[in-house]
């Protein structure tokens, strides 16, 4: 069986602050609630059960110069 772990942060970063439904480790649906994400994934991948996770928003402190 393939590794179905959570995708890398670089893949999930655009979805920060939202719920993401994953099917086979790929984003299949996104929503503001877990149910919205699950329904979006079920519309496109109706035979597979999605795994829904929340992607937290990452706060950057003002003193972080690594983004400059």
For residue 39, the model assigns a pLDDT of 97
pLDDT digits (tens, 9 = 90+) for 20-68: 999 999 999 999 999 999 999 999 998 999 999 999 987 666 555 555 4
Backbone conformation region of residue 14, classed left if phi is above 0, alpha if psi is from -120 to 50, else beta: alpha
So where are the chain's domains?
9-57
């Amino acid at each position: 069986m393939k590794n179905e772990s959570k995708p890398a942060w670089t893949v999930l970063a655009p979805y920060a602050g939202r719920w993401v439904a994953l099917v086979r480790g790929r984003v299949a649906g996104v929503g503001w609630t877990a149910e919205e994400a699950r329904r979006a994934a079920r519309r496109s991948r109706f035979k597979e059960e999605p795994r829904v996770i929340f992607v937290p928003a990452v706060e950057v402190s003002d003193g972080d110069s690594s983004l400059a």
